[in-house]
Structure 1
Amino acid sequence: MVACFTPPSGKEIRSPFPAEIFMPERTLFMSGEISDEIAKVAIKSLLRLQKEDPVSPIFLWINSEGGDVEAGSKIKEAIEKLTPTVSTVAIGQASSMAAFLASSCSGPRLASESTTLMFHGARYMEDIRGPIGETLAIGLELSESTKNQLFAPLARRSGQTVEQLTGLFAEKDQYFDASSAVKHNFLDKVVTPAQGTEKHTAGTKASYKITIEGELQKTQINRIITQIIAGLLLKPQKDISLIFNRTWGGELTDGLALFDLIRLVNSLPACGRILTIAKGSSLNGVSVLIFAAGAERKIGSKTKLVTDPIETLIPAYTPGPAYPLLMAEARVQQVTLIQRFSQCSNQSPEALSFLAQRQLRLSAKKALQSGFADQIV
């Protein structure tokens, strides 16, 4: 999906977001798998923005697991030919081809604090179907032209040589949290919520409500992200309510993308707050973390907050050649998730370390006492 945030004709919009990460009429949000169709839409949008204004920067927000190398390379080549600089803001995840896009652009390279970057190595793993139906992971060697195409722009931005990068990524995929990516010069800055910012008091009624029901899907989370941004642009001084009704599931990286956006918005003085409401019998999985990020968190008297052990939230990878690579990502996510739960409660990361192996199950009263909710309704 590629979303554009263009104001309605004749309507002037003042963005509540910092100018370093967002301009309403100059921002694209690319999410999901990178494909030929996504590349066509993204390139068309980039060229349109250049035609409208060949000087002002363009912002490309990314939450993507990667995808087709050729399609991603077309986007990268288009960016390199543009006259405006293109700044990237990775939120949630930028993996595989998406990581190269996020770290090789012409402008500042930013990421939200929970973002994970994953780079494929000179050899990468690909699943194929075996002769009797089993899935096998095999190592495929990238061609020299593909290596140069991917690594040369990253080498220029990171201050390393192509040989150094291919050596770093020689045998396995590499996972970096946002801070580590900055240390390796793959990103320029981590965007964190403003500390000590006093929020204004918004109206008593939310500008609109977003209801989240059932299993959290990747497309649903990305749609909610675009709805929040669009809502804040149209009515920046009004609150937005996220209503969770028996919600469960969701991938960690996508949930963390929405979590980061909520915390960022709730730290900005020039816009409304994002409020969260938990209804139904229970709230499960990553949706608990998203709920806990709200500026004002209301929970039904009979609603329970339940998270399975973090180890079970991570896909049950089958041991094999690719297993160490997949578990490397899992370990990064595990540490990140415990830290984020700590930020939304009155519990330290050490006190919450049990979440890796044990279930968190809180009644409404316990959620209030533990700092995961503010009010029982």
Structure 2
Amino acid sequence: MPLGIPKVVFQGPGDEEPDCNRLYNLRFLFLCQELDYEKAAQLCSLLVNFTVEDPKKEFFLFINSPGGALIPGLTVYDFLRTLGPDVNTICMGTAASMASLLLAVGTVSKRIAYPGSRVMIHEPEASKFTASMALTVKEAEELAYLRQRVIDTYKKHTIQSQSRIESDLERDTFMTAKQALAYGIIDKIAYSVDGLYQETLDDLTAEERDLDIEHNPEGLDWS
């Protein structure tokens, strides 16, 4: 189910509520495609609307996304960080690029991935920032600022050092669910929908915490 605003918001007497609206009313939101400015605006508007309705009821953001544009991703990040309710982030497939950052921003102890999930982190791409062959001085400065902001964000929401994050962001860095748990991007691996069977950092062996993670030197497309 991709991100979107429910097409039917109000029902008349006796009307049955559409399934998609039931999910939204439960505050179940889905990011299941690439994030751009339009989708970021839709998601932020839903977050604001739900917070106005009930400033304490938590959100559930389900993620299966290859990522997307940097600025829209940081916009959603800021909204998730500044709104009052807790945010449960759940990776149910792929959380790559900006989607991995949104996965990490969930409330501590409420960041979850399913066992088969894959997470990928990398630094902001200059090719998405400018279409020219060479960056201007201003563009280079802005890109450096955004890169540092991404580094600071991962440092804030994971348990890794800045030097480790900088190194891992230099190329596509892939993680299994257990590696994402050891990295600090998630807090739990869920083995059942009800959450009764789960794995936390304390359950990992010393070898699993070693973080022998896989890089992608060939720059393969992982969308």
Three-state SS of the structure 2 residue aligned to 1:106 is coil
Where relative contact order (Cα < 8 A, 6+ residues apart) is larger, the structure is 2
- 1:259-298 correspondence to structure 2 within 5 Å: 264=193
Partner of 1:222: none
C-alpha contact (below 8 Å) 1:7/1:25 kept by paired residues: no
Between structure 1 and structure 2, the one with the greater Rg is 1
- Deviation of 1:66 after TM superposition, in Å, equals 0.9
Partner of 1:167: 167
Query: Is residue 2 of structure 1 aligned with residue 7 of structure 2?
Result: no
Partner of 2:188: 189
Query: Is residue 326 of structure 1 aligned with residue 220 of structure 2?
Result: yes
Three-state SS of the structure 1 residue aligned to 2:218 is helix
- Deviation of 1:162 after TM superposition, in Å, equals 3.3
Query: Is residue 87 of structure 1 aligned with residue 88 of structure 2?
Result: yes
Gaps of 5+ in 1: 14-21, 132-139, 194-263, 269-321, 331-377
- 1:348-363 correspondence to structure 2 within 5 Å: none
AA aligned to 2:159 is: G
Partner of 2:212: none
Partner of 1:103: 104
C-alpha contact (below 8 Å) 2:66/2:99 kept by paired residues: yes
Q: Residues 112, 125 of structure 1: CA spacing in aligned structure 2 closer, same or farther, 3 A cutoff?
A: farther
- Deviation of 1:326 after TM superposition, in Å, equals 2.1
- Deviation of 1:155 after TM superposition, in Å, equals 1.1
Q: Distance in 2 between matches of 1:103 and 1:141?
A: 26
Three-state SS of the structure 2 residue aligned to 1:66 is coil
Query: Is residue 180 of structure 1 aligned with residue 179 of structure 2?
Result: yes
Instruction: Count matched residues.
Output: 185
Query: Is residue 43 of structure 1 aligned with residue 40 of structure 2?
Result: no
Q: CA RMSD in A?
A: 3.7
C-alpha contact (below 8 Å) 1:103/1:154 kept by paired residues: yes
Partner of 2:115: 113
Q: Distance in 1 between matches of 2:141 and 2:186?
A: 26
Q: Residues 30, 66 of structure 1: CA spacing in aligned structure 2 closer, same or farther, 3 A cutoff?
A: same
C-alpha contact (below 8 Å) 1:4/1:27 kept by paired residues: no
C-alpha contact (below 8 Å) 1:58/1:84 kept by paired residues: yes
Partner of 1:257: none
Q: Which structure features the higher share of strand residues?
A: 1
C-alpha contact (below 8 Å) 2:96/2:120 kept by paired residues: yes
Three-state SS of the structure 1 residue aligned to 2:220 is helix
C-alpha contact (below 8 Å) 2:123/2:150 kept by paired residues: no
Gaps of 5+ in 2: 18-22, 134-139, 197-215
How big is each residue's C-alpha offset from its partner over 1:72-114, in whole Å with a ceiling of 9 and x where there is no partner? 1111111111011211111111111111111123342111221
Three-state SS of the structure 2 residue aligned to 1:32 is coil
- Identity rate of aligned residues, in percent? 22
Q: TM-score, normalised by structure 2?
A: 0.69
Partner of 1:209: none
